[in-house]
């Protein structure tokens, strides 16, 4: 149950989730103070209820003065831990307010794709389902919607601020080092992700990647049924692929499920994970798979911007960590002109060298992490420094030969030069299309 009337609530951060949390709490009778350390002119129109008291451009109020602190994902726990009586993020609030089964999706890479694919699959199965959370739609926006199931993409930052979060189906896609600048170690990052399983019961299900040893080891923590997904099988319970089709099983004999469209590599894993979650929720995998043929992948994820003069330009701006960039490079057999760099997140760039050797003809490096990336590539790939993304696109155009792929897959955060990975991807798309033959 969720009772906020008369409570003093402090919302930290006025991004998308912070604004939705402030409005949600105020509409339920809480006395809300919404704070952001950025100046008001940088926040734009907040569109908050008049009852919300907004403070910007200065230090956060003392969390100890409030009954509840609602931190935005970007606010580290050190900013309120030890002072807040209670800290719930927007995912915890949404879970307490929603009265329908929750499917929660986490992992290092592929979360948004799988969440949106699940939305499409459950709708194809005849259920009213919507996805929200870390993918850019506030989780609290689902409250009050006419739904049969809610899908929440949850990040490690959001899971840090859960207290009793208990999804009916919890999906962990993969785990590789990421956000070490926030969590401090890979072990701490895994612990944050594992919170998705912490409050499940025997009535719930965990969907885990059998091909990822770190993820698969978490089955020991699962309290309910464990479903696996893997590129090859069989599995006692879960989904795997064979001969261009998926096979799914809960109990008894497996069912063959056709996979319409181009599903291979990481994309195949995403499709299998979504199918497994459908089965774990009790849905019909045959009907669900009907969503695969027309599914439009979200932008900035190995998105083909254009093909011009037999050169393919690919926007993978969402590759903000090493594992995502490795997956993107592995996807292409053609010679690659690779654009990488940005803000280092405390990750080890060494795995990029092995996969880039023989695939990338040249690496065009930009941003704060360019020197460290060049050291990690260690002569195994020819490297050039560029001042910015537009210069990298221009240089790629000079270097590209017929049959090449020009791949933006940064392996870094965007915040040294851009407000978000989305802005970085849009800038790449604009620069590519501006120079494409008409």
Active site residue 134: yes
User: What are the two backbone dihedrals, phi and then psi, of residue 384, each rounded to the nearest 5 degrees?
Assistant: -135, 140
User: 288-315 burial by CB neighbour count: b if 16+ within 10 A, else e?
Assistant: bbbbbeebeeeebbbbebeebeebbbbb
What Rg, from alpha-carbon coordinates, does the chain have?
22
Indicate the Cα dihedral angle 373, 155, 193, 132, nearest 10°. Answer: -140
239 neighbors 272 (Cβ within 8 angstroms): yes
Catalytic residue, chosen from 111, 183, 300, 345, is 111
Active site residue 183: no
> Which residue is associated with the tokens 């620069």?
431
Q: How far apart are CA 344 and CA 389, in angstroms?
A: 16
Q: How far apart are CA 410 and CA 40, in angstroms?
A: 31
Contacts with 211 (C-beta within 8 Å, 6 or more apart), sequence order: 230, 231, 269
Q: Indicate the pairing of strand 303-308 with strand 311-315.
A: antiparallel
- Across the strands, what pairs with 131? 151
Catalytic residue, chosen from 109, 174, 179, 183, is 179
Neighbours of 345 (CB within 10 A): 20
Active site residue 111: yes
Give the HSE-up count for residue 113: Cα atoms under 13 Å, Cβ half-sphere.
25
Catalytic residue, chosen from 134, 174, 209, 321, is 134
Give the catalytic positions in this structure: 111, 134, 179
């Amino acid at each position: 149950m969720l009772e906020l009337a008369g409570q003093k609530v402090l919302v930290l951060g006025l991004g998308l989730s912070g604004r939705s949390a402030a409005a949600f709490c105020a509409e339920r009778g809480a006395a809300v103070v919404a704070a952001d350390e950025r100046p008001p002119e940088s926040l734009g129109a907040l569109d908050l209820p008049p009852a919300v008291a907004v403070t910007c451009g200065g230090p956060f109020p003392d969390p100890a003065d409030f009954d509840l602190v609602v931190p935005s994902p970007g606010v580290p726990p050190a900013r309120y831990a030890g002072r807040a009586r209670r800290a719930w993020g927007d995912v915890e609030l949404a879970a307490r307010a929603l009265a329908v089964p929750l499917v929660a999706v986490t992992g290092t890479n592929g979360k948004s794709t799988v969440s949106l694919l699940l939305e499409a699959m459950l709708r194809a199965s005849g259920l009213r389902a919507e996805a929200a959370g870390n993918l850019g739609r506030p989780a609290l926006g689902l409250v009050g919607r006419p739904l049969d199931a809610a899908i929440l993409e949850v990040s490690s930052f959001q899971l840090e601020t859960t207290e009793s979060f208990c999804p009916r189906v919890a999906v962990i896609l993969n785990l590789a080092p990421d956000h070490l600048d926030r969590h401090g170690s890979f072990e701490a990052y895994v612990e944050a992700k594992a919170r998705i399983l912490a409050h499940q019961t025997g009535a719930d299900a965990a969907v885990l990647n059998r091909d990822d040893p770190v993820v698969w080891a978490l089955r020991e923590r699962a309290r309910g049924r464990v479903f696996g997904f893997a590129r090859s099988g069989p599995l006692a319970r879960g989904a795997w692929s064979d001969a261009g089709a998926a096979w799914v099983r809960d109990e008894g004999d497996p069912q063959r499920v056709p996979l319409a469209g181009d599903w291979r590599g990481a994309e195949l894993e995403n499709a299998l994970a979504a199918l497994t979650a459908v089965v774990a929720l009790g849905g019909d995998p045959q009907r669900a798979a009907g969503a695969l043929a027309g599914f439009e992948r979200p932008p900035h994820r190995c998105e083909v911007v254009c093909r011009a003069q037999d050169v393919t330009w690919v926007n993978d701006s969402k590759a903000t960590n090493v594992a995502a960039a490795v997956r993107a490079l592995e996807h292409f057999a053609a010679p690659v002109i690779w654009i990488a760099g940005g803000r280092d997140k405390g990750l080890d760039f060494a795995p990029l060298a092995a996969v880039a050797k023989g695939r990338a003809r040249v690496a065009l490096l930009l941003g704060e992490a360019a020197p460290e990336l060049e050291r990690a590539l260690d002569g195994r790939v020819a490297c050039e420094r560029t001042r910015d993304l537009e210069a990298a696109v221009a240089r790629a155009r000079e270097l590209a030969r017929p049959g090449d792929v020009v791949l933006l897959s940064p392996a870094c955060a965007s915040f040294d030069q851009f407000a978000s990975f989305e802005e970085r991807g849009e800038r790449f798309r604009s620069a590519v299309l501006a120079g494409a033959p008409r």
